[in-house]
Amino acid sequence: MSVEERAETSTPRHGPPAARPRRAVVLGGGLAGMLAASVLTGHADEVVVLERDRLPATALPRKGLPQARHAHVLLSGGARAMESLLPGITDAWLAAGARRMALPTALVSLSAQGWIPRAAERQFLISCSRDLLDLVVRQRVTALPRVTVREGVEVHGLTGDARRVTGVRLTDEGNGGPGTLAADFVVDATGRGSRAPRWLTGLGLPAVREETVDSGLVYASRLFRAPPGAEDFPLVSVAPSPGRDLPGQGMTMHPVEGGRWLMTVSGTRGGEPSRDNDAFEPFARRLRHPIAADLIARAEPLTDVHLNRSTVNRRRRFERLDAWPAGFVVTGDAVAAYNPVYGHGMSVAALDAVALREVLAGEVLADPRVARRAQRALARTADAAWAMAAGEDIHYPGAVGERPPAATRLLRGYLQRLMRTGTVDHAVTRVLLDVMTLSAPLSRLFAPDVALRVARGPGLRPPHEPPVTADEMARAGLAAR
């Protein structure tokens, strides 16, 4: 008998079995795990978050989240979802140093088809370091009365069988070593490295189908001290242009707390950036426009270059299994992980938590049908982000993955024309922003009013230079073009 089992059986219980405390266990103390825990507080007497890392008390990096050193922005679709889960969270981020940036007002973005026009706010994003964003969410969730976080815990598998998951097998060096933890409901939010497929086959379930699209992208990031007065410079983005014989190369730079800029450059096979500090600015200067290199040429670097190669689009089709165990759900990157350059991962995690909340509304965790309904709902949440990321990445030279059918290639032609139209047509730009920030469904791009504008085409040529004002250029220490 395990340590946990001995502790639970040593306490006498009275009353019918249904009266015993209900326990939910969340695997992973990152963003997806904390948001899932916030939902489960309304359905369990105890929510236990098991985290392998030691979680920092301030906005610092941690071992299990190496991608936090790279550019992260929370899109408005995800921010609204988190606000609905944790009311007041947006104000808490802003109080901690994050910025709310209006889109496309505070966006200087070169898409594959041209510069996106700046206009009145349609959507927004939250701009800060990933460490700060996670910290504020973690502080809010761990303050909830039913939530307990156990750090330094390694989860090795699930207990139960193919019909129902009853808990987890774990090693907790700080609490008695190997053991098990019983649970009425288990949520796996362990991210890209999730071992859920292996755990499920260990319970007697079939193998989970996995889809991958790998563009070979590598991305490199560096923090800079923003010039005085330019701390609130717009988000700058230069997108790669897939489908040609050349590698796809791009960049994103956005302001983060502490008067800093965080810049991430990226490149696919044959055009990857390096971790060489001296090569960072020259790489940025070789992009489709040198604005990024111009900006950092006069900015003080605060860190060395950090490199990351974990950019494969990976989707696990849990929802397609013929049978699904009661009491178990997989969420976040453990279901679908995307190339980070599209900025969808955090927002999808938030939408996953909202979907879980909607499925659980009025239900009890013991209901054997709930987990399967939830898993199918989370699969639908991933659809739009997956279509945008995988559908684009497959077109880079050397990309590995299943090639899209002919109908999909025709659809991509429509989307490219739509993007080109959006460089001069503000109405199309607004719809694009709605969809790209996960604030509207992908089907909105094909609505009759949008399709008519796309059929007419852009009419005008997009501008050749970035839409940066003279004042912004001056505050960044640059001469107006």
380-431: pLDDT as tens digits = 999 999 988 988 899 888 899 987 666 666 777 888 899 999 999 999 999 9
pLDDT at residue 130, rounded to an integer: 95
pLDDT tens-digit map of 111-158: 988 999 999 999 999 999 999 999 999 999 999 999 999 999 999 999
Query: pLDDT for 329-364, tens place per residue?
Result: 999 999 999 998 889 999 999 999 999 999 999 898
pLDDT at 2 over 70: no
Query: How far apart are alpha carbons 117 and 104 in whole angstroms?
Result: 7
Answer whether residue 242 shows pLDDT above 80. Answer: no
Strand partners, 48: 25, 148
Query: For residue 459, what pLDDT is reported?
Result: 81
In DSSP terms, which residues pair with 102 in a beta bridge? 124
Q: What is the dihedral of CA 38, 42, 46, 49, to 10 degrees?
A: -20
Stretch 96-112: mean pLDDT = 96
Tokens standing for residue 13? 């219980």
- Residue 392 confidence (pLDDT): 86
Classify the C-alpha dihedral 178-170-197-191 as positive or negative.
negative
Average pLDDT over all residues of the chain: 91
Query: How much is the pLDDT for 411?
Result: 75
Topology, domain 3-72+131-212+312-390: FAD/NAD(P)-binding domain (3.50.50)
**Nearest 5 degrees, angle CA 112-CA 114-CA 116?**
110
Task: Please give the pLDDT value at position 406.
Answer: 66
Which CATH architecture does the domain made up of 99-127+213-310+465-475 adopt? 2-Layer Sandwich (3.30)
The whole-number pLDDT of residue 3 equals: 37
Residues 6+ apart with CB under 8 A from 10: none
Query: According to the model, what pLDDT value does residue 17 have?
Result: 39
Q: How far is C-alpha 289 from the geometric centre of its chain's CA atoms?
A: 27
Task: Give the predicted TM-score (pTM) of the model.
Answer: 0.92
- In the chain, list all ranges with CATH 3.50.50.60: 3-72+131-212+312-390
Euclidean distance between the first and the last CA atom of the chain, given in angstroms as a whole number: 73
Which pLDDT score, from 0 to 100, does residue 64 have? 82
User: Of all residues in the chain, what percent carry a pLDDT higher than 70?
Assistant: 93
Query: What is the arithmetic mean of pLDDT over 51-55?
Result: 94
pLDDT at 481 over 60: no
Specify the length of the chain in residues.
481
User: CA 272, CA 267: separation in Å to the nearest integer?
Assistant: 4
Q: What percent of the chain shows pLDDT beyond 90? A: 78
Residue 20's pLDDT is 64
**What pLDDT digit, counting tens, does each position of 300-337 carry?**
999 999 999 989 999 999 999 999 999 999 999 999 99
Every domain range in the chain assigned CATH 3.30.9: 99-127+213-310+465-475
